[in-house]
Structure 1
Amino acid sequence: MATMRKLKSSSSSSITYGWAYDVFLSFRGEDTRMGFTGNLYNALVGKGINTFIDDEELRKGEEITPALMMAIQQSRIAVVIFSENYASSTFCLEELRKIMECIKHKGRLVWPVFYKVDPSDVRHLKGSYAEALAKCERKTFDTEKVKQWKLALQEAANLVGSHFKHGYEYKFICKIIQEVSKKINRRPLHVAKYPVGLEFRVPKLNSLLEVESDEGAQMVGIYGMGGLGKTTLACAIYNCIADQFDSLCFLGDIRENSMKRGLVQLQEMLLFELAGEKDLKLCSLNKGIPIIKSRLRGKKILLILDDVNSLEQLKALAGGLDWFGSGSRVIITTRDKHLLHVYGVKRVYEVEGLNCEEALELFVWNAFKSKEVDPSHLDISKKVVLYFNGLPLAVEIIGSDLYGRTILEWKSAIDTYERIPHDNIQEILRVSYDGLKEFEKEIFLDIACFFKGYKLTDVMNILCSGRGFAPDYAIQVLIDKSLIKIDEYSVRMHDMIEDMGREIVRLESPSKPGERSRLWFSKDILHVFKENKGSDKTEVIVLNLLKDKEVQWDGNAFMNMENLKILVIEKARFSRGPNHLPKSLRVLKWCDYPESSLPAHYNPKKLVMLDLSMGLFTFSNQMIMKFKSLKEMKLSKCQSLKQVPDMSGAPNLKKLHLDSCKNLVEVHDSVGFLGKLEDLNLNRCTGLKILPRGINLPSLKTMSLRNCTSLENFPEILGKMKNITYLVLSDSGICDLPFSIGLLVGLEKLTIDRCNKLLELPSSIFMLPKLDTLEAYCCKGLAQITKGKGQVLPETLSSDVINASSRLVPRYVDLSFCYLPYEFLATLLYPLITAPSQSFLHASMNVIL
Structure 2
Amino acid sequence: MASYDVFISFRGDDTRSGFTSHLYEALCRSYCLTYIDYRIEKGNNVWEELVKAIKKSTLFLVVFSDDYASSAWCLNELVEIMECHKNEPDNVVVIPVFYKVEPSQVRKQTGSYATAFAKHMKKDKDKIQKWKDVLSQAADLSGFPSTAYRSESVMIEEIARVVLGKLNHKHKNEITNNFILDENYRSIESLVKIDSAEVQVIGLWGMGGIGKTTLAAAIFQKFSIQYEGSCFFENVTDESKRHGINYVCNKLLSKLLREDLDIDTLKVIPSMVMTRLKRMKAFIVLDDVHTSELLQNLIGVRHCWLGAGSTVIVTTRDNHVLKKGGIHKIHQVKEMNSKNSLQLFSLNAFDKVLPKEGYMDLSKRAIDYAKGNPLALKVLGSFLCSKNQLEWNCALAKLKEIPNAEIDRILRWSYNELDEKEKNIFLDIACFLRGHERNRITKILNECGFFADIGIRHLLDKALIRVDSKNCIQMHDLIQEMGKQIVREESLKTPGHRSRLCDLKEVCDVLKYDRGTETVEAIILDATEDTHINLSPKAFAKMLNLRLLAFRDHKAVRPVNLPQGLDLLPENLRYFLWDGYPCKSLPPTFCPEMLVELFLRYSQVEKLWDGVLTLPNLEILDVKYSQKLIECPNVSGSPNLKEVDFSGCVSLLEVDSSIFLLQKLENLSLRKCTSLKILSSNTCSPALLNFDATNCINLQEFSVSFASVDRLCLSLPKFGTNELPSSILHFKNLWFFDCPISESLVNLPENFAMCIWLVSESLLKVERDTSITLSKILPSPAFLTVKMLIIDHVSILSEIPDNISLLSSLEFLSLNGIAIRSLPESIKYLPQLESLDVYNCNKLQSIPALSQFIPYFTVCKCESLEKVLSSTNEPSDKPKCGFILLNCIKLDPRSYQTVLKDAIAGIELGARLNSENEDPFLEQDDDIIEYFLPAMSGMENWSRYRSTQVSVTLEFPSNLLGFAYYLVLSQGHIGYDVGFGCECYLDNSSCERIHITSLTKGNFSNMLNSYDGPSIYLMMNHLVLWYDPASCEKIMEAVEEIKAISDVNNTSYNPKLTFRFFIDESLYSEVMIVECGFHWIYPFEGSAVPKRNDGFDSDDKEEAVLLTNKLEQCVVGTQSNLEVIIVDSGFHWMHPFNFESDDDEEDIVPLEYEDFEFDDEEDIVPLEYEDFDFGDEEDTVHLEYEDFEFDDEEDTVHLEYEDFEFDDSEDISYSLERLLHIGFDGDMLEKREENCN
| Structure with greater Cα Rg | 2
Q: Per residue, is there more helix in 1 or in 2?
A: 1
> TM-score, structure 2 length as denominator?
0.33
Q: Per residue, is there more strand in 1 or in 2?
A: 2
Higher relative contact order (CA 8 A, sep 6+): 1
